Amino acid sequence: MGREHWKKIWVGSAGNMVEWFDWFVYASFATYFAGAFFPDGDDTAKLMNTAGIFAVGFFMRPVGGWLLGRVGDRKGRKAALTLTVSLMSASAVLIAIAPTYGVAGYGGAAVLLIARLLQGLSVGGEYAASATYLTEASAPERRGFASSFQYVSMTAGQIVGLGLQIILQRTMSADALHSWGWRIPFLIGALGAAVVFYLRRNMLETEVYEESGEDTPAGEKGTIKALWAHKREAFLVMALTMGGTVAYYTYTTYLTKYLSNSAGLPKQTATLVSFCALIVFACLQPLAGKLSDRIGRRPLLITFAVGSTFLTVPIMTMLKHAGSFWPALGLSLLALVVITGYTSINACVKAELFPTGVRALGVALPYAIANALFGGTAEYVALWFKDAGMESGFYWYVAGCAAVSLLVYVTMRETRDIDLNRVSATAPGVTPSPAASRVP
């Protein structure tokens, strides 16, 4: 992989890291600012309110996927990536300055909601633009390895957020954190986004996009009409995302709350468990991505789905009774190793399904819809089950989603050897034959 390819991957990943730092900081600091925007009540009710606003952000992701996917296909991946980070910076500033319930009543929650809608709009386009960019910027035989850096950067953003939380927990009093300290990470996120905006303005476009031919008529690039010609692939993206996104958000954004609110671990211990587990998780992504370049994408996806289907219930049950740092860390690592089969390669698998002229939209919109329905609601569903006194029902829900995706993984075609420039060699909506779609 040459120097220019590494540069493209680095710039794409750095921006993705800041995007997801801002996105996940909301989840990781929710236990501190939940009481700032809502009237007095029990802790679970406050968390449900903030989780509800978190979920609402996901419902803007299909809109962001459509708008920014269209920009990515018509104006280029660089244009879409620059726009997404601008929106994310604005949303971080809004959260940092949002007034509390004591100052503005529900006005503060309204500002929080607007900021989350902007974040949803931004991330809805960021995932697809980043996935498409990283996949196109790499050599064909290294696409799995290169695209795995999307989840490396996403996880790095969360690690930085959790690391900052650990520092603040150890340098500030609990009262200060609940009062104003939770605003610090959002200010840092806004500054980081400004730096990435500068980097992305000077980034290089991918050769695949620049050299794309007439796979899609110019007037139809990034349109719903062009995407509908590949509706089979679009529905496939939704189905293969379902189990992975529920599992991912369960063991990342929700894990810290679950360990403190359900397992009874101190907030500092729960945060440290997530921090350590995510460091290992980030390191696993390139290794699994590289493995997929050798053996294919489907074996990893199937391994994830089987593991998640049969291990989710026992892992979540034992986590609830872990009691201390080391058992909680071991179980968390086991869960994250299982979902690595999905996270490390899902970006390139989706990008490999579509032609260049509709690739960004083809990844963005169906993925965003699946996330709105399953990923964004995972935390809220978990808290609903807990509030109803049936917390174990959520474990079965996660396992069931993975089982549905397993059926898709078993029946889908292998995408490893597809030539991104020739993926649309057949008529629209028709799956290319292996002979027509393999790299020469």
> For the residues of 124-176, what is the DSSP string, one character each?
HHHHHHHHHHHHHTS-GGGHHHHHTHHHHHHHHHHHHHHHHHHHHHHHS-HHH
Pick the most confident of 8-22, 261-275, 317-331: 317-331
Q: Is the pLDDT of residue 363 over 80?
A: yes
CA distance 439 to 309: 34
State the pTM of this model. 0.84
Q: Among 116, 133, 137, 160, which residue's Cα sits nearest to residue 17?
A: 160
Kind and range of the H or E run holding 183: none
- Which DSSP symbol is given to 374? I
Query: What confidence score (pLDDT) does residue 213 get?
Result: 58
Q: Is the pLDDT of residue 440 over 50?
A: no
Query: What confidence score (pLDDT) does residue 215 get?
Result: 56
Please compute the mean of the pLDDT values over residues 357-386 and round it to a whole number.
90
Q: Indicate the average pLDDT of the chain.
A: 86
Query: What confidence score (pLDDT) does residue 8 get?
Result: 73
Do 309 and 203 touch, CB atoms closer than 8 A? no
**Band of residue 45 on the pLDDT scale cut at 50, 70, 90:** low
Do 218 and 380 touch, CB atoms closer than 8 A? no
What are the start-end ranges of the H helices in 254-377? 255-261, 267-295, 298-320, 325-343, 346-351, 359-370
Query: What confidence score (pLDDT) does residue 429 get?
Result: 38
Query: What confidence score (pLDDT) does residue 424 get?
Result: 52
**Dihedral angle of Cα 249, 388, 262, 111, to the nearest 10 degrees:** 60
